[in-house]
Amino acid sequence: MSEETPENPEGGDESGSSLSDWSEDEDVGYGEYYSFNDEEGRASQFNNNDDPEYFNYECLTAVNVEKIFNEYIQTVKSTLGVSHARAKQLLHSNKWNVQDIIEKYSPVRRSPSMSPPSSFSTAVYCGVCASNLLESDFASPKGCRHKFCKGCWQMHFEIQINQGVSTMMSCMSPGCDTLVDEDLILSNLRKAEYAAKYKHLSFLDYVRCHPNLRFCPGPNCPIVIKAAECVSKNTVCVHCKARFCFKCGNNYHAPTDCETIRRWLTKCADDSETANYISANTKDCPKCNICIEKNGGCNHMQCVNCKHEFCWMCLGDWRTHGSEYYECSRYKENPNIAHESAHAQAREALKKYLHYFERWENHSRSMKLEAATLDKIKNRITEKVMSSCGTWIDWQYLFDASSLLAKCRYTLQYTYPYAYYIEPSSRKELFEYQQAQLEAEIENLSWKIEHAETTDRGDLENQMDIAEKLRTSLLKDFLKT
Q: Going by DSSP bridges, is the β-strand pair 123-126/57-60 parallel, antiparallel, or unpaired?
A: unpaired
Task: Name residue 43's beta-bridge partners.
Answer: 37
Cβ contact 242:216 at 8 Å = yes
Helix (H, G, I), strand (E, B) or coil at 304: coil
How far apart CA 414 and CA 261 sit, in angstroms, is 8
How far apart CA 244 and CA 233 sit, in angstroms, is 8
Cβ contact 22:389 at 8 Å = no
The CA angle 191-195-196, to the nearest 5 degrees, is 115
How far from 432 is each of 300, 320, 344, 419, CA to CA, in Å? 20, 19, 25, 7
- What radius of gyration, in Å, describes the C-alpha atoms of the chain? 30
From the candidates 298, 311, 328, 408, give the one annotated as an active-site residue: 298
SS3 content of the chain, % helix, strand, coil (to 5): 50, 10, 40
| Short-list 59, 46, 34, CA closest to 213 | 59
How far apart CA 438 and CA 454 sit, in angstroms, is 24
| Residue spans of beta strands (DSSP E) within 175-308 | 213-215, 224-227, 234-236, 243-245, 282-284, 291-294, 300-303
How far from chain centre, in Å, is Cα 381? Answer: 34
| Short-list 447, 460, 446, CA closest to 396 | 460
For residue 228, the one-letter residue type is A
| Number of neighbouring beta carbons within 10 Å of residue 277 | 11
Cβ contact 302:287 at 8 Å = no
144 is catalytic: no
Give buried/exposed letters for 224-245 (b at 16+ CB in 10 A, else e): bbbbeeebbbbbbbbebbbbbb
How far apart CA 140 and CA 127 sit, in angstroms, is 13
Q: Which residues are catalytic?
A: 298
